[in-house]
Amino acid sequence: MATVTPPATPAAQAMPQASAPAAEVQTIDGFQLVIDALKINGIETIYGLPGIPITDLTRRLQASGLRMLSFRHEQNAGYAASIAGFLTQKPGICLTVSAPGFLNGLNALAHATTNCFPMILISGSSEREIVDLQQGDYEEMDQLAVAKPVCKAAFRVLHAEDIGVGIARAIRAAVSGRPGGVYLDLPAKLFAQSVEAAAGKASLIEVVDPAPAQLPGADAMKRAVELLKSAKKPLILLGKGAAYAQCDADIKALVEKTGIPYLPMSMAKGLLPDTHEQCASAARSFVLPEADVVLLIGARLNWLLAHGKGKTWGGKSSKAWGGQKFIQVDISPQEADSNVRIDAPLVGDIASVVSLLLKDVNAGWTKPPKEWTDAVAAKKNGNIAKMAETLAKDPSPMNFHSSLNVVRDIIKANPDAMLVNEGANALDFTRSIVDMYKPRKRIDVGTWGIMGIGMGYCVAAAVETKQQVIAIEGDSAFGFSGMEVETICRYNLPVCIVVMNNNGVYKGTDKDPTGRDPAPTVFVKGARYDKIMEAFGGVGVNATTPAELRKAMEDAIKSRKPTLINAVIDETAGTESGRITSLKPSAAKKTK
Ligand code: ADP
Ligand code: TPW
Ligand code: MG
């Protein structure tokens, strides 16, 4: 705070005047108002990258006791903020400079919106007068206009006395209803503005009840419960919305008391342990087409669920309805019917809706027919036995199965560890092989199947949960954020990165037919990613066998030192696009 000669404003005149020299009044500047507004709303960590006009803001945030984590690229800071939002239900904050820094952060803002994670991208911006007349300011860009199409809401604050409102609106927009990404534009001039201190403080808003409970009506509940009771082959599908909602005990009780088989989406794995007897993951291709009533909890019928129709769901052709009836629990009233008819929408927040469903179940419930649960169990146990045979093999070179068998054991022994996962084969095999035991432990590429979330997620997972982090990374996937290994070392975070090195995107075997260049999917053969970690003082290990991998992971967990294990994987082992080869456009493929 500084002292200046008071302007002749009504606020200043109303100040109680002390004895002479009375003409001084306390002021507060824009920097401090931003900091105080974040603080009173419980924000503890900022993920960002300094530069004009926010360098001093990063310094003062740190000096004020907030944690200011500085990254090497804004995209990674943004991904960190987005997943912090998912893990905490508080908006993750990413702070960037103007135009280029803002654009680097924008990908993560779009990702947060797409995945329904609460996040606020705060970017400094250049002089409005110059930007709007397009006179060529330093890092000139109409950032608000650019952000709008990819976020849930966007705001700009021009006057210091509006900072409190700006931040309150950003927080509410990010966490209320369907969570998402919010952009907050803070022009350079704002930070240096001063207002009278008491008025400035009074302008800050501590947001009350930012994500209010929302309950469906009694008729909607009745419709849904009757439909579920009528089912002969019911199925529960848990999505990442269910994980986000943090009502883990009620979800577990609902699944167990109804006795209905359930299928977790990727980031809902662990809501109940994957080894739970009702878990139908290993019988996915059986339960989706066979089920007659499906209860969706925080999962959209998007591409990840084949849009709720077609052959995956037992439809006769690629677009045909399989005949299932759907109950959908979602906070967004517009989600229902997005792909197929939803017979019983339950619009509300998952915590409230699940507790209402539990009440109905407790009031009287008949478990699903034994033929159905037995059929699911038989299918599942057969597939698990087949998988166990594959996992028991020890080929040389190591492949995805033999290496992930180690990771599976390590997670089983360390169920509190956070698992970050990206890649194609490295993603798909990890998802199906590595069981999760606790909620919100698995964080991955999400709705877009995006590469690059890896190291940002590692930083946020370590900081927000204080747990050991294990990242299973395709060698291509790792490259998108690899420089943040320095960030992980700088903050000395307990992160163990395993790079599944198969020399390329999907595989390392492609050739340029002309013989001139390496193929587009192929990288330097035999690259030693472990050396990157050593460059910054962390532990690097080259692992060519499951035994070496196991030892290196165990050492990393014991020491909690930043560790990168270059796991050498058979370059022929992967399949094109992992599990989503069918989405590849191909001239030979029929469109209908
Ligand atoms: P997945 O990819 O795991 O299938 P999606 O991201 O497709 O999950 O779906 C998550 C859904 O959860 C979104 O439609 C979102 O609106 C919803 N959602 C998120 N949080 C809540 C909540 N607290 N209550 C109800 N629905 C929620
Ligand atoms: C931002 C396209 C999907 S998966 C992948 C790419 C480039 C990498 C697969 O290779 P990796 O895994 O990681 O080595 P593996 O085990 O199969 O060898 N750009 C972005 N997102 C996506 N999804 C792509 C490109 C892609
Ligand atoms: Mg690879």
Tens of pLDDT along 452-488?
A: 999 999 999 999 999 999 999 999 999 999 999 999 9
Per the omega criterion (within 30 degrees of 0), is the bond before 179 cis? no
First to last CA, the chain: 68
Locate the ligand 1 atom nearest the alpha carbon of residue 348 and give its number: 25
Rounded CA-CA distance 470/434 in Å is 12
Does the beta carbon of 332 sit less than 6 angstroms from any atom of ligand 1?
A: yes
Residues 6+ apart with CB under 8 A from 178: 116, 152, 330, 331, 332, 335
Positive/negative CA dihedral, 160, 161, 164, 169: negative
Q: CA 43, 251, 334: angle at the middle one, nearest 5?
A: 70
CA angle 318, 319, 322 (to 5 degrees): 95
Q: Do 575 and 435 contact (CB within 8 A), yes or no?
A: no
Whole-structure pTM value: 0.95
| Below-50 pLDDT ranges, the chain | 1-18, 590-592
CA of 336 to the centre of ligand 1 (A): 12
Residue 297, SS3 per DSSP: strand
pLDDT score, position 21: 59
Asked if the peptide bond before residue 397 counts as cis, ω within 30 degrees of 0, the response is yes
Cα–Cα distance, 100 to 386 (Å, whole number): 50
Residue 503 Cβ < 6 Å to ligand 2: no
Mutate to test the pocket of ligand 2, among 444, 505, 522, 579 (most ligand atoms within 8 A of CB): 505
Query: What are the beta bridge partners of residue 96?
Result: 123
pLDDT of amino acid 4? 44
* Candidate from 473, 476, 507 with most ligand 2 atoms within 8 A of CB, to mutate: 476
At 421, phi and psi to the nearest 5?
A: -145, 125
pLDDT of residue 581: 79
Residue closest to 79 by CA, chosen among 103, 105, 58, 57: 105
Q: Is 533 in the pocket of ligand 1 (CB under 6 A)?
A: no
Locus of tokens 């952000």: 147
Question: Is the distance from the beta carbon of residue 348 to the nearest atom of ligand 2 less than 6 Å?
Answer: no
Element counts in the chain: helices (H) and strands (E): 23, 20
Q: Which residue type does 507 have?
A: K
For residue 578, give both structure tokens: 């992992």
DSSP 17: P
pLDDT at 576: 86
Q: How many residues does the chain have?
A: 592
Residue 81 contacts residue 93 (beta carbons within 8 Å): yes
CA 337 to centroid of ligand 2, rounded, Å = 31
